[in-house]
Structures are given as C-alpha cells and as structure tokens.
Copies of this chain bind each other. A is one copy, B any other.
Amino acid sequence: MQAGASSRRKVRAKPALPPALEPGLRGRVHVYTGAGKGKTTCALGLCLRALGHGWPVLLVQFDKGFDGENEHYAERRVLRGIPGIDLVPTGCERMNPDGTFRFGCEPRDVEEARRGLAAAEGALREGRHRLVVLDEALSAVMVGLFGKEEVAALLDLHAANPVAELVLTGWNAWPELVERADLVTEMRKVKHYYDTGLGARPGIEF
C-alpha cells in the first residue's frame, strides 16, 4: 500500500517538515500501553529490527536505572554488545538493601528522569537516530517524575523534524497522547500469571 495523494498533500502542507522527508519516510509516533505484558518487550523488538537495518537507535529508559554494578535488566547486557544502539538507562536503585521495594518519587528520582528527557530532547533535535524509544515514559508521568507537558514538548520537537520513529511505552496513555500518536496498541491483559501469585521472574520479566 502507498500513502494516498490526499495524505501526501496533507503532510507536505506542514511548513516545519523538511522537504526531503516523504510521507513514507516521516517517522511515526507509536504508543504501547495497557496492563498486559508486552510493552517494553515490544519496544526491545523494535530496537532489534531497526538495528538489523543498521539504523542508529536511542533507547531511553525511565525508572530502570543502572548503578554500574547490579544490572536488573538482562536485555541490556545483550543490547550493549550490538553496534548502533545508544542506551540511556535512568532512575535510581529501587531495591532497598533489605530486599523491599522503594516506592515514591524523591528529588534524585526526578533528577534522573530529567536526564532521560534531556537525552531524548537532544536526539530529537539532532536527528541522527532513526528510532528513539522512551521506555516507561508513560509510567514516569503516572508516578510524577515529570508531566504530560514534557511529553508534549518532545512530540512537538519530533513533529518539527520527524526523522526518527518515536516509541513511547507505559501503563497509562492519556487522550491527548493517543490523539497525537500515529499508532497506539493497548496490551490488554486477557490473563496473566501474576494473578496466580507468581512474581516477576528473571529471564522473563527482567
């Protein structure tokens, strides 16, 4: 299928769009949301595919920090070995020394999230990456690490220079985000083993 003449005209009418970017090349905005399993893993799969084309990829992750010693997310061990991906894990350690989970939103958590936003902003301005993933950006908004307006600002930046495919993941998409996105998939939980009492398992959940 090809984009019809009407949609092509519509895209060309936007003055901010560089003339070289045909509609088929203009990067779209994806949102993967919902309570079911598969949001981050889907974004990881998209990274793999883009890397297979030799595309420069930026993967920013919110509230999934790496302290340089304890890598909680095994997928990143593999990603680090693939040329072409810039990995920006942000977030402070959420596991307390006693094994409990640290909830809440401290200034250091906000600071880390802002570091992620800055990385995304820099990449969208520069336009070198062909895929930019903001993993758990929606969850970051939900827990108050930053606001919807910060996400809207990134979408504005992308719209002005849509070189990259822009992918956002997280639990709760909001109406304005759905409206602006080109593709939204709700990962709907039909059933999940969490509901049987089974917790997150290495190799499958992290």
Contact = CB atoms under 8 A, between A and B. Distances in A.
A49 interface: yes
Interface residues of chain A: helix, strand, loop or mixed (majority)? mixed
Interface in A166-206: 178, 181-194, 196-199, 201-204, 206
Interface in A3-41: 3-4, 7, 23-24, 28, 30-32, 34, 36-41
A198 to B, nearest CB: 5
Given A24-B198, A42-B42, A45-B41, A55 B203 contact: yes
Interface string A44-84: 11101111110100000000000000000111111101100
**What's the number of copies of this chain in the assembled complex?**
2
Interface of A: 1-4, 7, 23-24, 28, 30-32, 34, 36-46, 48-53, 55, 73-79, 81-82, 130-131, 165, 178, 181-194, 196-199, 201-204, 206
Please list the 5 inter-chain residue pairs (A to B) with the smallest Cβ-Cβ separation, ordered nearest first.
A52-B74, A41-B45, A44-B45, A36-B185, A1-B199
